[in-house]
Amino acid sequence: MTRVFAGKKLLIGSRNHAKRQQLIDALEPYDLDFVMAEETDVEDPEETGKTFLENALIKAKAYSQGSNLPTLADDSGLVIPALDGAPGIYSSRFAAEHGGFDRAFLALEEKLKGLSTEAYITSTVVLMWPDGIYVSGVGETWGDLVFPARPGIGFGYYPIFRPKGETKTISEMAPQEYNVISLSHRKKSMGALIAQSFKAV
């Protein structure tokens, strides 16, 4: 079911500052009042889903029902076809299990020896109301992985991910270079969601 967002207050169901800033930036034209996750008494739910959508729904439901506010939540990750889709929904956990992203990059480099480095980063966003009705959007950006990592201003897997047709990893790009609809996976997912539930401005 599609529903148009008609309110003013929107909860961002994420404690990842960099990620949620991208969500907020996409909604800048709508002049909303954003509530941050830490401003509520809601604890982050355990992400037990088997897909990005299931995990985004788990987060959106917990925050929306716990705060009685419409909530925007996201689940995203790195998908590598040559590794059967890994790390996928376990992208954050993969990094944590290896002691951080730098070591995770080394682990991926080792796993991919002799294999294709083609990959994509994906984002699934969910806007859910307290009554359970929700709208979702999906975005993907394809590219390849480069080693060694090229650190810069990006976060997560950005230092090793080079979008298709580009010479720089996302971390090496200035924000204005990456945050365009043609490149940003989160911009794409938010664009799909906005097209369904927000009036044109």
Phi/psi at 37 (5° precision): -55, -40
Task: Give me Rg for the CA atoms of the chain.
Answer: 17
Contact 145, 112 (CB under 8 A): yes
Other CB atoms closer than 10 Å to residue 123's CB: what's the count?
26
Residues forming the active site: 75
Q: What angle do CA 181, 118, 55 make, to 5 degrees?
A: 65
Alpha carbon separation from 144 to 29, 49, 123, 141, 184 (Å, rounded): 32, 26, 17, 10, 15
Nearest to 59 by CA among 68, 71, 50, 67: 71
